Amino acid sequence: MTQSTPGADGRRIAELLASELVAREDGPLARCSLRDVRDADTLEPGEFGAFAYAVHAGEEDGDGDDEAEGGGDHLADVYVHDDRGRVEFRRAQSVAAEAGGEADLRVRPKAVEPPRTLVFVEDTGQVKRVLPVFEAALAALDAA
């Protein structure tokens, strides 16, 4: 039997992060919207985690899926593991890596095409620390 760290529940981490991202009415995170949201109770994390939701920068376009129709930038995907959460930044990867390191979060590249940056959220206490990573990535999108 493995011992779990208090607050290290991937489903709870993903729920808290979602709340932080969509509850903002001002500031850079107010632009974030969630897409393809899965029911947390039905997620089966398995060895590689389970997709929980996508984070987009910009407004919903109606069908919640097509960026080409003005639905905003697909910024990141959030995955649930049994004992942690994982954010895969699809845009502004180098900025996300630097900001994640500065926030003292575990960060690593993912060698896929296109490349991604993984930021691990190990417990519920780290949810607030990943928010500046999203803010930095959004600022990088604005600067591009």
Q: 10-residue block means of pLDDT along the chain (144 residues)?
A: 57 94 89 91 84 86 41 87 94 96 95 92 95 96 86
Q: What's the rounded Cα separation, in Å, for the pair 54 and 72?
A: 12
* Full set of structural domains in the chain with CATH: 10-143 (3.90.1150.20)
- How many whole angstroms separate alpha carbon 129 and alpha carbon 68? 31
Interatomic CA distance for residues 49 and 24, integer angstroms: 27
128 vs 57, 110, 144, CA distance in Å?
Answer: 18, 23, 26
The tokens describing 102, both together, are 């500065």
Nearest-CA neighbor of 19 among 89, 72, 78, 97?
Answer: 78
Cβ contact 107:97 at 8 Å: yes
- What whole-number distance in Å separates Cα of residue 83 and Cα of residue 114? 27
The structure's pTM equals 0.85
pLDDT at 35: 95
pLDDT at 96: 96
SS3 of the chain: helix, strand, coil, percent, to 5: 35, 25, 40
